[in-house]
């Protein structure tokens, strides 16, 4: 569904550009052009400028990515199969995007974690939201409560690392290795 408000168009344009070009490499004029919004609308909706827009874009992109991963996991009744499918789908998506679309948050987090506290905090909130959702999902699948959060963190670290290596090397080799490692971690957590 296409965003209907000018604010939504601006946030979506910023999120897409930050994913592909990074936060630092994206200018406000590019965001305005991509959104089709009048230039003054950006500062009307985001009086704090690019940083305020960046925070909104990180939250929007993080929610969209969480839905995508959740939908992939939901396609399978078995959490082990769902984990394997998630990594395979991530590799397929990365390859199909020409190595451009990986994690929408990592691109920004790596750039600004040391220079923008509001953006660092937004990235941390998104990562924590993903971790909490996966923790709940693993616990519901039978992973003991004391193992569910470490397993969620392991899953996300393997996925993020696979994306980073994949974008850089232009191959799914790292995701192809990370998937079985995640599956093994899920199996091990379930067996305890």
Q: How does the average pLDDT of the chain come out, rounded?
A: 93
Topology of domain 6-191, CATH? Tetracycline Repressor; domain 2 (1.10.357)
Question: Domain residues of the chain, as ranges?
Answer: 6-191
The string of pLDDT tens digits covering residues 143-168 is 999 999 999 999 999 999 999 999 99
Identify the pLDDT of residue 3. Answer: 47
CA dist 90 and 74 (Å) reads 15
**Half-sphere exposure of residue 166: CA atoms within 13 angstroms, side-chain side:** 30
Identify the pLDDT of residue 184. Answer: 98
Mean pLDDT value of segment 45-67: 95
Identify the pLDDT of residue 102. Answer: 85
| Pair of tokens at residue 165 | 């290596």
- Tell me 171's DSSP state: S
* Res. 2 pLDDT band, cuts 50 70 90: low
Sequence-separated (6 or more) residues with CB below 8 Å from residue 85: 72, 73, 75, 76
| Pair of tokens at residue 75 | 């396609």
The string of pLDDT tens digits covering residues 59-101 is 999 999 999 889 989 999 999 999 999 999 999 999 999 998 8
Contact present, 14 and 31 (Cβ < 8 Å): yes
């Amino acid at each position: 569904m296409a965003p209907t408000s000018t604010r939504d168009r601006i946030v979506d344009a910023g999120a897409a550009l930050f994913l592909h070009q990074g936060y630092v490499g994206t200018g406000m004029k590019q965001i305005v052009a991509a959104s089709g919004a009048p230039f003054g609308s950006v500062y009307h909706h985001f009086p704090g400028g690019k940083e305020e827009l960046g925070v909104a874009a990180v939250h929007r992109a993080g929610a969209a990515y969480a839905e995508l991963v959740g939908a992939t996991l939901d396609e399978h009744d078995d959490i082990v199969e769902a984990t394997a499918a998630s990594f395979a789908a991530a590799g397929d998506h990365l390859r199909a995007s020409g190595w451009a679309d990986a994690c929408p948050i990592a691109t920004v987090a790596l750039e600004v974690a040391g220079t923008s506290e509001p953006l660092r905090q937004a990235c941390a909130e998104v990562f924590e939201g993903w971790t909490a959702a996966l923790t709940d999902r693993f616990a519901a699948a039978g992973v003991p409560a004391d193992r569910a959060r470490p397993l969620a963190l392991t899953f996300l670290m393997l996925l993020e690392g696979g994306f980073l290596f994949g974008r850089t090397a232009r191959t799914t080799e790292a995701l192809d290795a990370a998937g079985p490692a995640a599956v093994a971690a899920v199996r091990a957590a379930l067996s305890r």
